[in-house]
Amino acid sequence: VGPHCGTCATLKPVLHQLVSDRQEIVALVEIDIAEEFELAIEMGIYSTPTVILFKQKQVLATLVGLQPKKRYAEAIDQCSEQT
Residue 35: is it exposed, middle or buried by C-beta count within 10 angstroms (0-12/13-18/19+)? exposed
Mean pLDDT over residues 2-30, rounded?
Answer: 89
Whether 4 shows a pLDDT value over 90: the answer reads: no
The predicted model scores a pTM of: 0.88
User: What gap in Å lies between CA 80 and CA 76, rounded to an integer?
Assistant: 6
Structure confidence at residue 5 (pLDDT) = 86
Residues classed as catalytic: 5, 8
- Over 90: is that where the pLDDT of 49 sits? yes
Q: Identify the pLDDT of residue 42.
A: 94
User: From its phi and psi, is residue 44 left (phi > 0), alpha (psi between -120 and 50) or beta?
Assistant: left
Residue 41 is classified by DSSP as: H
Quick one: pLDDT at residue 2?
62
| pLDDT value of position 23 | 84
Using pLDDT thresholds of 50, 70 and 90, give the confidence band for residue 70: very high
Question: 3 preceded by cis ω (within 30°)?
Answer: no
